[in-house]
Structure 1
Amino acid sequence: MILLLEKNAPEGASRDLLQLAARLGLPARTMGGSWGRQAVEVDDPVPARLLRTLRAAPHVEELLSRPRANPLVELEGDEGVRPVRVGDLAIGGGDLVLAAGPCAVESEDQVEAAALAAARSGARLLRGGAYKPRTRPGDFQGLGLQALRWMRAAADRHGLLVVTEALDPASCDEVAEWADVIQIGARTMQATSLLKAAARSGRPVLLKRGLSATLDEWLGAAEYLAAGGAPGVILCERGSRSFETSTRFSLDVGVIAAARLRTHLPILADPSHPAGRRALVRPLARAAIAAGADGLLVEAHPDPSCARCDGPQALLLDELEDLAREMADVGASVGRTFADPRERRAASGV
């Protein structure tokens, strides 16, 4: 936004305004051009309470706001997260959310075991791939409709919701029939025809950040979904490609914090893909919660050594409860809640 000073403002008034902005933690700079007066530009977004302070500063006469690039998904003033409702679940409220399950659905027994473990850990969503976008055509591509049916049945038996990926517009209706949330993967984040089809499906959409996408590009893709009528949009940070080789991708906890300042959309984090190996998943999960994520999307498998997709990064099923306890601990330190699975079972008498 641009702050225009009075035409008769004393020399140095813009410098005083810059110093005020700096004390408030707001990046700002003086502006040249043909304003005919002193002018200061302040980077958006500016919280409403700080905006009032700037507006009341000496010699400030007018405030000019720039048009918002993504008006449907960007924050307004001091607005917080707008929770997305999926059935009886609110994603983005005070309670952290866990979605867990295999990278790819491989058999009925496998998804049943994963659903049972997910439910016991306090997860509210069962994740799993029925359709898999793979790097090579010879890699396992998923079991399609049969996998969707297995996921739905297992989720219903254990009181879970289903989140799974649609790869193209043609598959959106089929996925929407069996799933509660449609996932748009990192590889297809900017596939506009897919975004439009997912928005028309009537299901909330979980939008993963692309492998090299900027925050602006990520929010632009979310704007497509909101403009297309999606009943809810949930962002998911899953790591970006970088020079680092000790991890599969680089989980960007900074972009989680930055997105929290830009958008009212809930934000989940996927620590499994950036980790690339099991030992790093829980540390990255803890970092994501501390940075402001509203929950986690985590891979877990009954026997990762036999997994047909991303086995090395999948947690063992009995590790989900350890992850859940850590979510509760870290969440409590940042004002969020997630029930320890032991306490949950004790309360229910299970």
Structure 2
Amino acid sequence: MKKLLVDKNNNDNIKVKVKDVFFGGKEKVIISGPCSVESPDIMIDIARNLKLLGVHILRGGAFKPRTSPYDFQGLQYEGLKILKEVGMEVNLPVVTEVMDARDLDEVIKYADMLQIGSRNMYNYTLLREVGKSGMPVLLKRGLSATINEWVNAAEYIMMEGNFNVVLCERGIRTFENYTRNTLDLNSVAVVKQKYRIPVIVDPSHGTGRRELVAAMSFAAVAAGADGLIIESHVNPDNSISDATQTVSIDSVKDIICKIKKLETILQN
């Protein structure tokens, strides 16, 4: 059977549309928001600030896969409703993770883009189901996945007729323990060179340290990434989930300003 992610030299690059936002075009897409959906008041405060900065898509986890079953698992269906309402209020598309095929029909009611998290990259049943949905999909790389395995996961979605797939490099597990993961920007260069699918980078999970997010954001853009997904909060230290890797709104503003300057340099 012929693979769908064929050599980009023989086919046009795939562009993925989420409402009025395009992945794979000239503009770098910025996705931002808290790791977990919080109260309506906090979410609207975050979203309004991000909207003013020119962020394109609001992120927020309603279902949170945690290593420990005793950690906060997200607001779940209530979180979906909050995310949808906030997105509509500020006129931003929203992306959230779907963890189980049994939840897919419900999540689709509230999300504009479905995220497949790192732990579910190998969940081929779920990949097929989101493929059938036709919804735009943000496919995160598995913790220990090779580039080939990651690309094949995208193929599972595309085999169902859904080409609205964006890859997300979020770091892989190595022997290094200073950072949460090792951000593999080699993979971005490989995808941009060999395949015709958009790829973005998650410097928040890739490093696990807020002081490194900006530097790795710039490196990701220089490597050719089509965008970034950054965890942000109006009060990062009080973020319910992943506070140590969550940046402030001012940090997002600084990252966006410097990326625009960097793009000008790279285009010359």
1:110 counterpart letter in structure 2: I
The equivalent position to 2:196 in structure 1, one of 264, 271, 274, is 264
Render the CA deviation track for 1:42-80: whole Å, top value 9, x for unaligned: xxxxxxxxxxxxxxxxxxxxxxxxx86xx2123242545
Distance 1:154 1:76 in 2: 38
Q: Is 1:330 the equivalent of 2:249?
A: no
Aligned pairs for 1:10-89 within 5 A = 71-79=3-11, 81-89=13-21
Aligned residue for 2:32, secondary structure, equals strand
Aligned residue for 1:235, secondary structure, equals strand
In the superposition, the TM-score normalised over structure 2's length comes to: 0.96
1:237 aligns with: 169
2:108 aligns with: 176
Aligned residue for 1:77, secondary structure, equals helix
Q: Is 1:148 the equivalent of 2:71?
A: no
In the superposition, the TM-score normalised over structure 1's length comes to: 0.74
Task: Name the % identity.
Answer: 41
2:51 aligns with: 119
1:302 aligns with: 234
The equivalent position to 1:283 in structure 2, one of 215, 231, 244, is 215
The equivalent position to 2:61 in structure 1, one of 120, 129, 133, is 129
Render the CA deviation track for 1:132-180: whole Å, top value 9, x for unaligned: 0000100000001111111111111212100100001011111111011
The higher radius of gyration belongs to 1
2:242 counterpart letter in structure 1: D
Aligned pairs for 1:335-346 within 5 A = 335=267
Aligned pairs for 1:196-215 within 5 A = 196-215=128-147
Distance 1:190 1:262 in 2: 22
> Does the CA-based 8 Å contact 1:120-1:321 persist in structure 2?
no
> Does the CA-based 8 Å contact 1:117-1:318 persist in structure 2?
no
Unaligned residue ranges in structure 2 (runs of 5+):
none
State how many pairs are aligned.
268
Distance 2:212 2:9 in 1: 37
Distance 1:81 1:183 in 2: 21
Distance 2:144 2:6 in 1: 21
Greater than 6 Å deviation, 4+ residue runs: none
Unaligned residue ranges in structure 1 (runs of 5+):
1-66, 337-350
Distance 2:172 2:91 in 1: 33
Aligned residue for 2:267, secondary structure, equals coil
